[in-house]
Amino acid sequence: MSAWIGWCLALAAVGMAAQAYGWQGAVFALTVVVFWLLLQFNRALRAMKRAASQPVGHVDSAVMLNARLREGMTMLQIIGLTRSLGRRTGTEPEVWCWQDEGHSVVTLTLHGGKLRHWTLDRPVASAEDE
């Protein structure tokens, strides 16, 4: 959902509560909106705290991350999957990458804060590795 729609819904809830129950309804609806914002802030803070304890741009398995990605995911959802902050490799569009121990790399491209495209690059196995 877009932020504009969320704020319009919150404003409509406060307005309808004020019309139906007066100033007490407006205060109650405003309290519910603030509580919801605090829950969202707490969720983001918890994800960032969990990701801060891991190396930047590291993921346990790039193949598993690739399988779990879906178009339209937000960066907060991606950080929840990887449990680490990504390494930024581009700004326009936003490009982030994560690498695992086997040197496989997942590169994500975000437009407007949403995942639009991703690629998995696996190293070529040489004859010495086999």
Q: Tens digits of per-residue pLDDT, 36-74?
A: 999 999 999 998 888 888 888 899 999 999 999 999 999
Same domain for 44 and 76? no
What is the C-alpha separation between 125 and 106, in angstroms, rounded?
17
CB 8 within 8 A of CB 31: no
Q: Number of structural domains, the chain?
A: 2
Domain that holds residue 21: 3-51
Q: Is the confidence at residue 127, as pLDDT, over 60?
A: no
Q: What is the pLDDT of residues 101-117, one digit of tens each?
A: 999 999 999 998 899 99
Which pair of tokens denotes residue 7?
């704020």
Residue 38 lies in a domain: yes
Residue 108 lies in a domain: yes
Quote the strand ranges of the chain, DSSP E.
87-90, 94-99, 105-111, 114-121
Q: Is the bond leading into 55 cis (omega within 30 degrees of zero)?
A: no
Same domain for 41 and 72? no
Task: Tell me the pTM.
Answer: 0.74
What was the pLDDT predicted at 54? 84
Assign residue 78 the CATH number of its domain.
3.30.1450.10
Q: Is the confidence at residue 130, as pLDDT, over 70?
A: no
Same domain for 7 and 63? no
